[in-house]
Amino acid sequence: MKYKSKKSQGALVGLIMGILIFGFSFWGIGFSLGPEDKALKLLLYIPAFLFLFIYIILLMGSFNLHYLVQKNRLALKWGLISAHIPWTDINQLIKVEGESNLFSILGASWPGYMVGLYSAKGLGPVKMYTTKPYEGFVCIKSNKGFWGLTPEDDSLIEEIASKTGKEIETVDMNQMPEEIKGKSMKEDGFYKLLFILNLVFLLFFSVYLAVFFPGSTAPNFIVLLLVLAVALFFFNIGNAGRLYQFSTQGAYFLLLIGIAVTGIFLILSLGEISL
């Protein structure tokens, strides 16, 4: 029997983000570098196409994410890939309520979508196949580790309990002590400030070039600075989130580097564009 994941706009958000980010990046590289810059253009295109390939796989998963109850196992369907959990391997069923403290180990997420290996403070490393895990999720403990699911309702976990004979346990993350749950980035005011400043600098840089670059005598290479600033933003945001669980100061420093580099790019652009 097929069980759908909780409804979300994750697939649409991912599609729009991908078109905007990769569309601008490929256009920017081609526009800013001429025929004499073949080597540099190749060095930029290779990682860009690699990340595009990875992103397409992640995006396909967001469009096809559901769970199948089969005769001898539970199947997690993600894009063209399936993960299987035999009923005999399941040791514990946990219904996680409240907002979890999740950190990416080797995963990807955007609003309405989270997939990959995440650290769920208070539970452990969880392989997430989810849409809205911050609203609660089903956690399955098996011989191969923890698995996170977000079905539309409780019918799936009740079916798994029936197949395995396991009791459904409930964990309320909102009631979990901070020393176990850990400190969340969402509750860290300074981290949020640095994140907002990164976003503000990037948006200001983008608007500035959009308004003043057309018709100016500035070299096309200026556009490449914005492409690099966008790439740096997503690199820093993703890795700052991973680093935060080990070192809050390290995460702060990474975000500060993003602000500084984007600021330098902006200053260089101010010097090149004649208003």
Distance (Å, whole) CA 171 – CA 126: 15
Domain boundaries, the chain: 2-62, 86-181, 185-272
Distance (Å, whole) CA 224 – CA 232: 12
- The answer to whether 74 and 89 are in contact (CB under 8 A) is no
User: What are the backbone dihedrals phi and psi of residue 98, each rounded to the nearest 5 degrees, phi first?
Assistant: 80, -175
Per-residue pLDDT of the chain (275 residues; tens, 9 = 90+): 899 999 999 999 999 999 999 999 999 999 998 888 889 999 999 999 999 999 999 999 999 999 999 999 999 999 999 999 999 999 999 999 999 999 999 999 999 999 999 999 989 999 999 999 999 999 999 999 999 999 999 999 999 999 999 999 999 999 988 888 888 888 899 999 999 999 999 999 999 998 888 876 778 888 999 999 999 999 999 899 889 988 999 999 999 999 999 999 999 888 777 54
List the strands of the sheet with 73-78, edge to edge: 2-4, 65-69, 73-78, 81-86
User: What are the backbone dihedrals phi and psi of residue 189, each rounded to the nearest 5 degrees, phi first?
Assistant: -60, -40
